[in-house]
Every structure is written in C-alpha cells, then in structure tokens.
Structure 1
Amino acid sequence: MRVAVVGAGIGGLVAALDLREAGCDVVVLEGADQVGGKLRVDDVGDLRVDVGAESMLARRPEAVDLAARVGAELTHPATTSAAIWTRGALRPLPPTVMGVPADLDALEASGILAERPVPHAEPVPDDDVSVAAFLAPRVGREVVDRLVEPLLGGVYAGHADRLSLRAAAPQVLALGADPLAGAAATRATTRTLATPVFAGVVGGVGTLPQRVVEHGDLDVRLRSTVRAVRVDDGVWTVSAGPVSAIETYEVDAVVVATPAPATARLLAEVAPPAAFALAAVDYASMALVTFVLDGPIDVEGSGFLVPPVDGTVVKGSTISSQKWAWLGERAGDRTVVRASIGRAGDTAVLHRDDADVAALALADLTSAYGGLPPVLATHVQRWGGGLPQYDVGHLGRVATVEAAVALVDGLEVCGAVYHGVGIPAVVASARAAAARLLAR
C-alpha cells in the first residue's frame, strides 16, 4: 500500500514510521523547510537548545516509548519545584491537580491567595462546561484566576472561561463534586508513584523528529505544501509543491497530520462535515524568548508561572539550565532561561518586532528574578497559531470529524487538535490513525 502523509510534525512522522514498518510505501509531504512542527532545537549563541516544547509527560507511555524506540536518551528534571509570580513575589507553587489545590496548608503558606478557599460540593454537570464554570462555584474564583489559569495557560495558552472541562481538563472533572477533597485524595495516591511526572531528551526534545526520520529511513519531501487532496475510484491524488511546479502523487491512502485550518482546507471536498467542524477550532499564537546569561540566577527551582490577572507580558519562565542537567553541564557558568508570551486572543505584543518582544520579556524576568546577569545571546521563536483551543463543545467537534473521516476509505487524520496537545497524546493519535488504516 502506498500512503501519503501530509505534515512532518511529530504526529505525521510517527504515523509514517508505523506504516513504513508495516511494509507500506510512504511519502511524507511537508510545507516547511524542516521536520518537527512545534518540536525544534536551534542555536542560542553556541548552545543548541529547545525553542519549542522541552518536556513531555512521562506518566503516559507513548512519548517515552517513542524516545526509546528511536534511540534518544531520556532524562528527568533536576528540579521539579516551581513558583507563581504574583502579588509582587515569587511564591512556591503548592501541590495541585491542574491548579486545584491539593494541600490547603501549603497554599495558605505560599501567600498566592488572599483567603483560604472554602470547599463547596455541587453535582457534576452532564453537559460540557468551561473549566471556570465548573470550578468557580466549588473552589472560588481566586483559585481559578491565580492557580488554574496559569497552569492552563502553560498547556493551552488558553483561558479557563473558554476551555472545555471534558476536553482540556479531564483530570479536574475526575475530582468530582468537591474538587478540593478530590485533589487531596489524588495527591495522597500519586505522591507514592515512583515514575517521574515529566521527561526530557538529552540534546533537546526537538531532536526527536529527526531521530524518527532516520530510524525509519523515511522519505520526507520538504517545501512541499499540499495544495489539494482528491479521491476517484479508490485512487487518491495529492498535489503538492510550489504553485509554479506542482507535483502529483497517486496513492492508495492519505493521512492528514496538519493543524485544523490546513486540514479543513484539504478535506473540504472529500469529507465536508469534517472540514466544517475543523474550521471552527480556534488557535492561540505565542512566542518563546530564550536568553543565555553571563552568570547564575540566585533563584532555586525550575521557573515560574504568572496569573493573567497580574497583567505581565510574560506568562511563564523556565530556567532551563537548572531544570535539565545536560544543559546545565553544557552551559557551564552561564544560565539559559526562557520566557513564554501569548495567550488566545492576546496578540498585541506578538505584533511587535523581535527586539521589542525580547526587551519586554527581559524586563519582566528581571523584575521577577530580582536582577539578571548580562545577556550573552537571545533567540525569539514565534509559534503563530501554535496551539489549538479546546473550547466548550470540542469533543463533539472531534466526534464529527472522526465520524466523517471513517466514512471515507483510505483517509485518516491525526494530530494535536483531536485528543490532547501534549507529545504523548499526539503520538497516540498518530499510532491510532496508522493502525486504523492498516486494519482497513
């Protein structure tokens, strides 16, 4: 079976790898000039570091299994303590379940909230609601604003008032009618687990995509934007490349592993209901600003998150050279710190040039950390439309897409827009798509 995979992000590459190892003839078509999508490493001064995702959930098996499969060296954070920058200070982040406090004494000691939250138990709604609509009556609006929002912003670059409880925060839904009691019970169970929560890759998570390509000896065609996908009597025709030199591929099946806007465009003729549902998915843009500093930062832990109510430009920061031992060794006496900017609907800062974005980020970091060593190198990585927004009703939209695609023989989809934006979820989506295609 000859298969065209559209998109060389980690999802498309994993689908291609599974299909290739099952004996299929696979070509991967990618519009950009490199593989990896939102997983990328780049040079900041003389250090090569992640400028996209730098960690992956380790308590799901898919990503760590992929890393082992392609020969990547896994590592775990050297420090897991983090802070919330709020009320004029870096305050220790107490144990939480996606921002829902699991230790009220630790929360009170942190000074993050003005008042200790009072639990309120209410029946769990049958319909999908926003994370804020579920939590605010049960734990208080201040918990949502100063704890839940920063965590959701770090994962989705979204807002608790819009994000779907069932799609974006199922772990919060699982806490039940009394989320504070549920979080405390969850902590009592999970704190005994030996498995670290997160994992990284020596050399950067952004090295994974190229490792997948090399491990599978994949045929990847870069700068090959797919213009159209059509099917006629079971034969798929994929048109790709620059407008002046479009190349046509005739294949038996197609896996579309692109973000929702591109997927909607490509499926408009072959699966209109899927295209319509995907067109309704919003995306958030963001930027990651990485600095190499000439000396250490006198702060413990891996970094901080910021509640949006505090009005800063930066929504979070990671001291990468303290978080990852391999990077700390390569950096020596220098510090690698990065700042995350941008939430859904908040793009004014991102319209400024790189120098301005970096200057604004540096000003916030200097204020938060209480001064910084001189900057040796700076890198601004923009991710326009980088993160799909799992707004209320998202699971219904996904069900519509999957039902429509299932009716079209030889077509599959996968990626971050469906069942999770993290690397393990995307890998799972890709492997499931490949398995379905092979089963057909």
Structure 2
Amino acid sequence: MTADDPSASAPPPPPVAVAVVGGGVSGLVAARELALAGVEVRLFDAGDRPGGRLRGERLGDPAPPDAGPEIDIGAEAFATRGGVVAAYLAELGLAGEIVSPAPLGSWLVSSSGAVRLPAAGTVGIPTEPLGRPSVRALGVLGALRAAVEPALPRSVGRGGSLGAAVSARLGSRVLERLVRPVVLGVHSREPAEMPIDAVPGLSEAFARHGSLVAAARELRDGRSAAGGAVAGLRGGMATLVAALEAELRGLGVEIRTGVAVAGMERTAPDAWALSDGAGRRIAEARAVILAVPETVARRLLGAEPALPEGRVEVVALRVADSRLDAAPRGTGALVASDAAPGIAAKALTHVTAKWPHRAAGGDGATDHVLRLSYGRLGREPETAGLSDEEVLRLAVRDASRILGIELRPESVRAMRRREWLVGRAPGASGRGVPLPAPPDVALAGDWVSGTGLASVIPGAREAAAHIIDRLGGTPHRTGQHTGEAARGAARETPRQTRREGAPER
C-alpha cells in the first residue's frame, strides 16, 4: 500500500460473512434470510434509503418534502397468486395490513374509445370471450375469434413467445387490446419478447388443457393469475420496506446507504473484496449476494455486457377536481397501442379510487392522486429529457384524454416523478449469454426470478438459501413468525442504518 493508494487513508473494514449489494426488496429479503440463519450480514445500497421500487414519496402542497400524503411512487400492489406474498407479510406481522382494491374495475382506452376491461385469468387473456365485457373490448368478430380458441389443435402457438401464442390462438385483437396493454403495464416489455413460461403457471396450465382460455380460467379459479387479482398494504407498499428494515436492525444487520459498490475482486479462495467508485475497499466477505440490475451484476463479475435495462418513469399528480369523485375510469386504465400518438402514457392508476383508505391523506374531499406510467423495454420513456413543466403538461394532457375529463393544469397541487430500471424477463429474447456466477455469489432481482413480489420474494430467499448452504448453515423455516420479536428488538437496539459519510455510532 502506498500513500497514493486511495484506500491508504482508512483502515480496512472488518470482514463480514456475507455482503448484500442492493437494498431493494430483493436485497432486504435476502439479508433477512441470512440474518435469521445466524449469518453476519452487511448490506450496501447506492440510494439515500433502502426500498428500491417499493419506496414512498410525499406528494406535498406546496413544496416541503415532508408535506402532503405519502404515496407509492413505484410498485403500489402485489399479485395475490399462490398466496406467496401474503404468507411473507404474515411472517413480518403485517397480515392485518393487507387490503383489497375497490371493486370498481379498470378500463381500456384505444383509438375507438374507452371500454371496461373484462375479467381476465392472467395477463389479459379473457376467460369468457363471449361475455359482454369481452365483446365490448374486442368487438363481435374479435370475441368470436377468441371463442373458438379451445377448439384449435394443441400444436397451434407452441414453441414461440407469449405474443406469438396469443396472436395465433386468440387473434390479433386479444393481443393488441387486452394482452399487450396488460403486459406492458405490468412487465414494461413486449409480449413478443416474453416466453410463455415467464408468466407463472401459464405454461403448465396450457400444457394440461391445450387452450389458453382454459388455462386462464384455471389460474383465475386457483387465484394464481399474474396480471389478475392484486392486493396492497393499508399504509402503502413502503410499509413492507419499513418492516424489513426494522427487523434487520433488530437482527444486527448493518445497512449502509449512499454506497455504490463499483468493484469486486477475489482476494482468496473464500474471500471477496468490494470497493467503491474511488477504489476504496469498503468490505471483505466470504460470500456475496448481488441484488442489483443485470448490467451492474455483469460489470462487477467481469462478465460479457448485457443489453441495457429498460427505463420507466412514473409521474404522480395530486389533483383538486371534484369531477374525479365519480372515478370515471374505475381504478385506472390501460392504453392500447392504437391510441398513440394521442396518448403517450401506457397506463393510469386512479390511486385514491383504487385505495379509498389512502384518500384521507389529502386535506380536502376533492383531492385525488393519479399515477401515469411512461416507457417500455427497448424505448426511452416519453418523458425523457423533459423539464418538470413539460412533464406536467404532458401528464395533464394524457390524464384528460384517458379519463375523458379536461383537467386544468392549475388544478394540480403537486407532482412527483421517479424513473426506474426494468430488467428483461428470465428467458426473454435478447437476453444474450447467461450470467455465470461463482459458487459463493448469488444473484437476485426481477431479471433473475421474474416480475412482481410473488416472484421476487421466493427468488431472493432461494439466493440466500444457496449462500447459507455454501457457508454450512441452515435456513430458517418458511412461515416462521418473527415480526413482533424483531420490532421489539429494534426498539432496544441502536439503529444500524448508516448513511455514507455519517459518523459511526
């Protein structure tokens, strides 16, 4: 070590058993599994606070950052399929906080107008093609085309992407008016880029029945539909992040925010050294979990670069307009591709209609929260490079056209915007060479296990279980309730979350 070495000014950090890189829900879940198994863990996150896409934002009026109701600026619900997320929330003592959205239904906006979406089994596939809602959405010919799907040979649509299978078996109208808007809204990617098995349960149900309509019905009846039934948390999805953070503190996990891990090298057969952007060594660990985007994981492991992730921007508006009390588009609307260029947003959520208990966060009966989503995989979001004033004008225009109500810019009391990265689905086209990870490194995130908490949580637990096994430990039993104990410990344990640059406590 020389005087010019950037790490010379600080003593080397004490070694830790496992370093978790990334403080989104994947990293937090993996860190919890490790800590419950008695493994010493240190978690690093580049952001100012953990949570990733489950973070909340204040939608204040006027500008103090702590004013106004808190909203979900990222994920605002979870799929109920399989009960995976509900069981995990119960482990954290949050079962009583689970709420269902208002039963208002959602809409589809296309060039031919706005129609209520039919009840779907999964990713927009209609379960009753000749039902009135399906006929309204698809037209008579489109509904008839979809209705004959169960009579088609099993071989039709096999071996291709989700988009190709839907088009071949159900017709282009089902693809363009139902499946494509749902997949873009939920997964931010084109159905043509997704294999059928990227949708949990769909490939297996299709194999059993030889029909996508029958498969969708099975998934609906089994409450395992992706893009189907959802639930949320009374205080917003950020409640999950707060509970995980509290439990990690109670378990003695150090969370270091504001630390971007930029380098990773093996220093011994059973040791890794992590460094920051200035080359300073920030951790030594026997094993590492990379709960980061695929491009970051590949760079840290020195692997072949991947195609860049997609970018999505969420724009949230707090609007004072009593005409929204009637929830003209129910809980929200998806935008069909043929609605462009008239509407740039791909979806709108009427937050205070979908989650009525959140409306009390405002200070007036006519305050409403609207969320618009922009961008999809392979394309820049339409908001990229725009100033806040330009984004406000675009969002008000899009919301007006989607809702069928001419909103006034002056009715917007506050706006927040947040951009997110969206990885490619496992098995999706364009993924390139698979990323090989050393035995003492595990990968976690939506690009590894699939989109949504119902996929991400089990994936993160599997990553942690792999590392625990590697270290010779025993994972804790799934379903074991730890929330109350952890919160009690958190009240008695000094806070372990430390912002980079802050003094050690």
State the TM-score, normalizing by the size of structure 1: 0.87
* Residue segments in structure 2 that go unaligned for 5+ positions in a row: 1-15, 61-67, 471-505
Give the alignment partner of residue 291 of structure 2, picking from 237, 248, 257.
257
Q: Percent identity?
A: 25
Asked if structure 2 preserves the Cα contact closer than 8 Å seen for 1:83 and 1:90, the reply is yes
Instruction: Give the partner amino acid of 1:147.
Output: L
Asked if structure 2 preserves the Cα contact closer than 8 Å seen for 1:10 and 1:37, the reply is yes
Number of aligned positions between the proteins: 421
SS in 1 for 2:258: coil
Q: Does 1:98 align with 2:123?
A: yes
Aligned match of 1:59: 81
> Could you give the per-residue CA deviations for residues 335-383 of structure 1, whole angstroms, max 9, x where no partner exists?
1111111112232623222322232121111122122472111111122
SS in 2 for 1:200: strand
In structure 2, distance between residues paired with 1:63 and 1:425: 9
Instruction: Give the partner amino acid of 1:343.
Output: R
In structure 1, distance between residues paired with 2:202 and 2:82: 14
Q: Does 1:175 align with 2:197?
A: no
Asked if structure 2 preserves the Cα contact closer than 8 Å seen for 1:224 and 1:242, the reply is no
1:41-440 equivalences in 2 (<5 Å): 41-45=56-60, 46-72=68-94, 73-79=97-103, 81-96=105-120, 97-104=122-129, 105-113=131-139, 115=141, 116-118=143-145, 119-120=148-149, 121-124=152-155, 128-168=159-199, 170-171=201-202, 174-176=205-207, 177-184=210-217, 186-187=219-220, 189-190=221-222, 197-217=229-249, 218-243=253-278, 246-268=280-302, 275-276=303-304, 279-296=305-322, 297=324, 298=326, 299=328, 301-311=330-340, 312-331=343-362, 332-333=364-365, 334-347=367-380, 349-351=382-384, 352-371=386-405, 372=407, 374-383=411-420, 385-390=421-426, 392-393=428-429, 400-401=434-435, 404-405=436-437, 408-440=438-470
In structure 2, distance between residues paired with 1:170 and 1:68: 23
Instruction: Give the partner amino acid of 2:289.
Output: V
In structure 1, distance between residues paired with 2:178 and 2:204: 16
Structure-2 change in CA distance of 1:310 and 1:300 (3 Å): closer
Instruction: Give the partner amino acid of 2:451.
Output: V
Deviation at 1:82, TM superposition (A): 0.8
Asked if structure 2 preserves the Cα contact closer than 8 Å seen for 1:82 and 1:302, the reply is yes
In structure 2, distance between residues paired with 1:43 and 1:353: 20
In structure 2, distance between residues paired with 1:80 and 1:156: 23
Deviation at 1:140, TM superposition (A): 0.7
Deviation at 1:396, TM superposition (A): 9.3
- More divergent stretch after superposition (206-215 vs 62-71): 62-71
Deviation at 1:170, TM superposition (A): 5.0
> Could you give the per-residue CA deviations for residues 403-423 of structure 1, whole angstroms, max 9, x where no partner exists?
x33xx3322111111121101
In structure 1, distance between residues paired with 2:56 and 2:321: 22
Structure-2 change in CA distance of 1:170 and 1:358 (3 Å): farther
SS in 2 for 1:252: strand
SS in 2 for 1:290: strand
Asked if structure 2 preserves the Cα contact closer than 8 Å seen for 1:113 and 1:146, the reply is no
Asked if structure 1 preserves the Cα contact closer than 8 Å seen for 2:374 and 2:381, the reply is no
Asked if structure 2 preserves the Cα contact closer than 8 Å seen for 1:128 and 1:393, the reply is no
SS in 1 for 2:81: coil
- More divergent stretch after superposition (342-351 vs 168-177): 168-177
Asked if structure 2 preserves the Cα contact closer than 8 Å seen for 1:80 and 1:323, the reply is yes
Structure-2 change in CA distance of 1:192 and 1:14 (3 Å): closer
Deviation at 1:5, TM superposition (A): 0.5
Instruction: Give the partner amino acid of 2:288.
Output: V
Q: CA RMSD in A?
A: 2.7
In structure 2, distance between residues paired with 1:169 and 1:431: 17
In structure 1, distance between residues paired with 2:85 and 2:308: 26
SS in 2 for 1:226: coil
- More divergent stretch after superposition (250-259 vs 105-114): 105-114
In structure 2, distance between residues paired with 1:254 and 1:432: 14
Deviation at 1:391, TM superposition (A): 5.9
Asked if structure 2 preserves the Cα contact closer than 8 Å seen for 1:153 and 1:315, the reply is yes
> Could you give the per-residue CA deviations for residues 93-125 of structure 1, whole angstroms, max 9, x where no partner exists?
012231221112224442444622422423347
Instruction: Give the partner amino acid of 1:234.
Output: P
In structure 1, distance between residues paired with 2:178 and 2:415: 30
Asked if structure 2 preserves the Cα contact closer than 8 Å seen for 1:11 and 1:427, the reply is yes
Asked if structure 2 preserves the Cα contact closer than 8 Å seen for 1:130 and 1:391, the reply is no
Structure-2 change in CA distance of 1:181 and 1:211 (3 Å): closer
SS in 1 for 2:299: helix
Structure-2 change in CA distance of 1:135 and 1:349 (3 Å): same
In structure 1, distance between residues paired with 2:32 and 2:193: 36
State the TM-score, normalizing by the size of structure 2: 0.77
Instruction: Give the partner amino acid of 1:206.
Output: A
* Residue segments in structure 1 that go unaligned for 5+ positions in a row: 269-274
Q: Does 1:4 align with 2:5?
A: no
Instruction: Give the partner amino acid of 1:330.
Output: G
> Could you give the per-residue CA deviations for residues 207-242 of structure 1, whole angstroms, max 9, x where no partner exists?
322321111213111121112222243332332334
Structure-2 change in CA distance of 1:117 and 1:238 (3 Å): farther
